[in-house]
Amino acid sequence: MAEMFESRAKVILHLDMNSFFASVEQAHDPSLKGIPMAVAGNPKERRGILVTCSYEARALGIYTTMTVGDAKRICPTLVIVPPDFPKYRAASTAIFDLLRTYTDLVEPVSIDEAYVDITAIGGLTDAVKIASGIQERIFRELDLPCSIGIAPNKFLAKTASDMKKPMGITILRKREVDRILWPLPVIEMHGIGKSTEKKMKALGIITIGDLANADENVVKVSLGKNGSRLQLRANGIDERLVDPAAGDERKSVGSSTTLPIDETELDACFAVFKQLANRVAVRLANNELAGNVIMIQIRTADWHNQTRSRTLLNPVYKEDDIYREASDLFEKHWDREPVRLLGITVTNVISIIEIHEQLSIYNFEEHEEKKRISDLILKLEDQFGPGVIKKGNK
């Protein structure tokens, strides 16, 4: 009976390409192999940001998001190449096509990573053999290195793939969670960022083990449904299935409301959009989603319907971001006819935990600059108190 149960146990692989952009460049130009090199925008500008770098560069202390100038100070001979996103997308397509020769249960989650459910094609018995075969084929046929995690669920598989790089294969069993994961700081757990880490520290949750064993009610009240979800994962529990259609579906999350009167005041409409943005943000958070298309619906008193949408560079999920875009769309397109119904929908939705911004290099640098400013503001507020920095008007 034990053997029968084991043979039916879910077995999921998480494939994570190693230094993907740099590896693709090395595959196309063998002279870049074995040397410190990096992919960066504006390679002639010392303020340019490294998108990724080779393991030879990493061994010297160079890392992604470092400026070209700082990297060059560490290694003056560092070779910088500009990004070529069509080349990377072509390599990504080839990798996923190769994975689908094993099973249809392949779920791409970013340009360089995917989940593969191998339960029905070998399961636990052949897991290492299948993973080794995939890794060897990708390296032989595409000249690209990858690491693979093997586990009974998505969370543990993704965690395992990070444990040995490059070209690693790691098995992580649920019974090993307390020994391997629990001693680690919570910030090292997938799905936890600095903001969530700060909230957890306030609750006395420092390690993944602290989260796993914390009072469930305290976690839920303080961190909401996402906190409860993270606590389950800290205990090695993750019921998400590998969904081959997840990357292709145009999912949406929205909310609309019929107004008590036919509204003609802009501020009153803004107030409604604020409520709708809150509802949409809560639903996105509950489902761990974000989207980069904002759409509004307007129904006038004479039952005329219209929609307006805007595509954003980066996915959004926060209430303020959703409200800002929706209210701006409304103000620009409302013809001042009395309004009977308003709605907001966020579409082109993807998982927020697996989110991997496929940025143009210019947007990448803008993103990093905003992050640096945000980090500085948080630092100043920690020292001098909330609200010490105020946003000015242009």
Radius of gyration of the chain (CA): 24
State how far the Cα of 257 lies from the Cα of 28, in Å rounded to an integer: 54
Q: Is residue 78 helix, strand or coil?
A: coil
Burial zone of 20 (CB within 10 Å; 0-12 exposed, 13-18 middle, 19+ buried): buried
Specify which residues 150 forms β-bridges with: 13, 171
Q: Are strands 146-151 and 113-117 parallel, antiparallel or unpaired?
A: unpaired
113 among known catalytic residues:
yes
Give whole-number Cα distances, 253 to 6, 280, 295, 303, 305, in Å.
38, 6, 10, 23, 19
Catalytic hit among 56, 107, 113, 319: 113
CB 18 within 8 A of CB 57: no
| C-alpha separations of 71 from 51, 75, 370 in Å | 12, 6, 20
- Which residues are marked as active site? 113
